[in-house]
Amino acid sequence: MEECCSTKPKKEHHHNHEDHDHDHSHDTGDQSVFRMFLPAIISFTVLLLGIALDYYIKPAWFSGWVRLVWYLIAYVPVGLPVLKEAYESITKGDVFSEFFLMGIATVGAFAIGEYPEGVAVMLFYSVGEVFQAMAVTRAKRNIKSLLDQRPDEVTILKDGQPQTVKAEKVNIGEIIQLKSGEKLGLDGELLSDKASFNTAALTGESKPDTKIKGETVLAGMINLNTVSQVKVTTAYKDSKLSKILEMVQNATAQKAPTELFIRKFAKIYTPIVVFLAIGITLLPYFFVEDYHFRDWLYRALIFLVISCPCALVISIPLGYFGGIGAGSRHGILFKGSNFLDVLAKVQNVVMDKTGTMTEGVFKVQEVAFKNEFNKDEILKLVNALEGQSTHPVATAIHHYVGEIDQSIQLKNVEEIAGHGLKSMINGKELLVGNFKLMDKFNIKYDIKPENIVYTLIAVAYDKKFVGYLTIADSIKADAQLTINKLKALHVQTTMLSGDKTSVVKYVADQLGIQNAYGDLLPEDKVNKVKEIKAKNQTVAFVGDGVNDAPVVALSDVGIAMGGLGSDATIETADVVIQDDMPSKIPMAINIGKQTKKIVWQNITLAFAVKAVVLILGAGGLATMWEAVFADVGVALLAILNAVRIQKMKF
């Protein structure tokens, strides 16, 4: 099937072709519905007139070669394309395609004089093909319209003058001017003091997201208020939206086991059906007294029509495509249909704390300094030293204290890994970090750090313990709902974090997470996930930081928080949640479960109906009309069932 989700700009889409055993691709993009159905309408009209002449009007001239030519005229508009497909499949080495089955069955019907039935089989098959093509195109268009929402052109400022250029020609460092209501074409950094954006194209959520100067803004966001300026930080082809489009475009290449099984099954099944049909035609000659070649050939032709694996070959990939589309609509990107299957049976969700279940935005809660020290003076020194770090803790202190005092002279600044920062100021030593840093430099303190829930930043100045700051991260608004929904799905929850154990336990207890472990290095997280996998249980890991990439890769399905998550984690992950909302985790599992349910409903329906009609056909109790229902009718029912997932509420 042709993939619609191109990463190129809209005006120059290219198409990738999947290697399907049974190619149902119809490029319906530029065709009107009427044009698609026109051959079937012509065929249907001529067929109805033929049946009227055959059974009601019965003129003398409507017989012999005239009757044959009449039905051939009805057959050609719908039959010729299928016979052409059959011929092309044979030249490529795929002899036993469904086109070949339909060709034999309908040509055979003509050979034994069953003209109306031969035309009807091909007519209904062609109508089914058009419906399939429309369903696939619609599914792809839905995903495409959700995702490829970047403008082709943007307004950049050249020497202070606005100039409209192609988005893909814009260089990193150039400044885009974004008017109210305009979509951003490339990722960048906001230069204006403040701006509100609609992020629905990226996250599925339409509520405004307010950004302040220096924050990252992404392609696809819509500016909601005043004219804003954005400095481009990423090339057009490397923007987050481009990567998202690429992920969805490649998603259908990653086949689910069920899909792969059906494709292999069809390759073996179709030749068996052809040889069985030959057996039904010829073998009764040796066992039946009153053998009529025509009767047994008719039964074999019915058998061929019923046996066509059309319903399975199209409806199963369409079911998975529908699941991927449903996810995209809610801001969840599946990198392959195989991950829908894994999520459907996941038993454990292991999650990071910071940025996954909490906001990842630290705030100073309390400053507990001894009275002998000037609180404001020490805070200025701490702020100056933390200004040397990019850690979230440093940002929290900076937001609390304010602008850094540039008059403070820092000397011999040293970052001690896993401990904190050290510097000389006015000839005195300043230490800012955790209590392990105090122990390392033999600073005596009179508190028990383990009794305080929040993250602690200890401060020592001139070899004396000054006190500490408590820093906390707020739990995400939908974190509690997430855990409740996961419990309802009978999924075990575990939290792994590098933060201190008391903080991790506190957050886990607040949310009702079953297992929680803190003070973990990235390799410790990997070992914890290995322990769960050793019990033969499926694990989904959810994270957002660079340090989560190894454990995301190890899990059965890795889920990345993609809004502000690291590129390394998004690249490694199998599923990306674009708006960082943890409640999308149980939603993704639910989409996987519903997709699998629909796929198995289609498999059961197709096999059950075909088995019944096959037995009736071989016994001479079913006609071509039942055969048409068993093939085309079941295919249409399966397609309608498959597209249903895109309308579901999760």
**Which residues pair with residue 223 across a beta bridge?**
197
What is the largest distance, in Å, between two alpha-carbon atoms of the chain?
A: 120
Please name the CATH architecture into which domain 153-247 falls. Distorted Sandwich (2.70)
Q: What is the pLDDT of residue 543?
A: 81
Q: Is the pLDDT of residue 20 over 60?
A: no
Confidence of residue 126 (pLDDT cuts 50, 70, 90): confident
Residue spans per domain, the chain: 153-247, 318-358+475-593, 360-474
Using alpha carbons only, what angle is made at residue 473 by residues 470 and 474, rounded to the nearest 5 degrees? 125
Mean pLDDT calculated for residue range 507-522: 89
Q: Are strands 188-190 and 216-217 parallel, antiparallel or unpaired?
A: antiparallel
Q: Chain-wide mean pLDDT for the chain?
A: 82
pLDDT at 552: 80
pTM of the model: 0.69
Question: Strand 557-561 vs strand 539-543: parallel, antiparallel, or unpaired?
Answer: parallel
**Average pLDDT score over residue span 441-462:** 89
Write out pLDDT tens, residues 251-288.
Answer: 556 667 777 777 777 778 878 888 888 998 999 999 88
Number of H helices, E strands in the chain: 22, 24
Q: Extract the tokens encoding 486.
A: 């996961």
CA distance 639 to 131: 8
Q: Where are the alpha helices (DSSP H) in 347-459?
A: 375-386, 392-401, 435-440
Residue 24: is its pLDDT beyond 50? Answer: no
In angstroms, the Cα distances linking 397 to 10, 242, 457 are: 45, 35, 10
Which superfamily does CATH assign the domain made up of 318-358+475-593 to?
A: HAD superfamily/HAD-like (3.40.50.1000)
Q: Which of 42-56, 97-111, 557-571, 584-598 has the lowest mean pLDDT?
A: 557-571
Domain 360-474 has CATH 3.40.1110.10: yes
pLDDT band at 200 (very low <50, low <70, confident <90, very high): low
The catalytic residue positions are 352
State yes or no: pLDDT of 417 exceeds 80: no
pLDDT in tens, 32-72: 788 889 999 999 999 999 999 998 999 999 999 999 999 99
Residue 479 falls in which region: left (phi positive, over 0), alpha (psi -120 to 50) or beta: alpha
pLDDT of residue 101: 80
Q: Tell me the CA distances in angstroms from 1 to 36, 262, 314, 556, 633, one per residue in order.
A: 17, 16, 10, 28, 22
pLDDT digits (tens, 9 = 90+) for 372-407: 999 999 999 999 998 887 677 888 898 899 888 888
